[in-house]
Amino acid sequence: MNDKAAHTHAEGHAHAILRWSDDSAHDIEETTRYPLMTEAIRQILVEKGIISADAVRHLIEQMDARSDVTGGKIVARAWVDPAFKERLLANTKEAIAELGIPEVDATHLIVVENTETVHNVVVCTLCSCYPRMVLGMPPEWYKSKAYRSRVVREPRAVLKAFGTELADNVTVRVHDSNADMRYLVLPMRPLGTEGWSEDALAHIVTRDCMVGVTVPRVPAKAHAVE
């Protein structure tokens, strides 16, 4: 589908203003700096043939399709299938491929397991690297100066801010994903979930517990969903 160029005249000059072909969902209304800047860059790069409008649209759709649901499926499978869990920890790339999840962005996923004696938490202090292929887009707090600065220095205080307190005998292990590795925390399966289906288990695996700032909780009136 080709974008239509609409001609408009402003101040005596003719402009070809490249529109999104569906002319609706991506149309901007805001005239503040950054929406304008983004659209200006998009138009210029597409007009010059440097990128295609379809490529941009496709990547937006891909972003919309990716979420922590993927991560939740991985965790739930690891909880019900101990052999899968071992494969996941030993060679994450191959194990997630079993679930039809491709590695993208040339980054490499490492799954780190929470145990009775180890609790993992992930950060990227230098920028905001994040395992997007399994968790979708990172939350604002993950990218914030406060989180990036503090979690390496005082992880227990930061975890407490998220409502997570760990006993002194538990090792808190911070992972600063400063290079090509990306981390997914495999939380411990909570008590009270015996006999639950994989779907039900995946439901209680939140993004925050796969980053490591919280742990999965069994809702008060939970029941196993078959």
Partner 1 sequence: MSPAVVSPRRFAPGDRVTVTYTHPPGHRRIPYYIRGKSGLVERYCGAFPNPEELAYGFDGLPARHLYRVRFQQTEIWPTYDGPAHDTLDLEVYEHWLSPAEEDAS
Partner 2 sequence: MRRYHDMGGQPAGPIDTSDHAMEPWAKTLTAIVGALRAQGLSRVDELRRHIEDLAPQDYDRSYFERWAEAFCDLLEEKGFTSRAEIEARMAAIKAEIEARP
Among 127, 144, 149, 197, the one annotated catalytic: 127
Catalytic, 209? Answer no
Q: Are 210 and 75 in contact (CB under 8 A)?
A: yes
If one counts every other C-beta atom within 10 angstroms of the C-beta of residue 137, the result is 15
CA distance 127 to 145: 10
CA distance 56 to 75: 31
Mode of pairing for the β-strands spanning 108-113 and 118-123: unpaired
Binding mask 90-119 for partner 2 (x = CB under 8 A): ---------------x--------------
Binding mask 179-208 for partner 1 (x = CB under 8 A): xxx---------------------------
The CB-of-121 to partner 2 minimum distance in angstroms stands at: 12
Binder of partner 1 out of 45, 69, 161, 172 (CB under 8 A): 172
Residue 65 or 126: the one with the smaller Cβ distance to partner 1 is: 126
Q: Rule CB under 8 A: is residue 161 a binding residue for partner 2?
A: yes
Residue 43 or 120: the one with the smaller Cβ distance to partner 1 is: 120
Residue 147 or 196: the one with the smaller Cβ distance to partner 2 is: 147
CA distances from residue 200 to 70, 85, 114, 160, 163 in whole angstroms, order as listed: 14, 18, 20, 27, 23
Q: Bridge partners of 17?
A: 6
Type and span of the H or E element at 113: strand 108-113
Type and span of the H or E element at 176: strand 171-176
**Which residues would be at the binding site for partner 1 (CB under 8 A)?**
108, 110, 125-126, 152-157, 168-169, 171-181
**Which residues would be at the binding site for partner 2 (CB under 8 A)?**
8, 10-11, 13, 15, 17, 26, 28-31, 33-45, 48, 50-52, 55-57, 59-60, 63, 105, 123, 125-128, 137, 139-141, 143-150, 152-153, 158, 161-162, 176
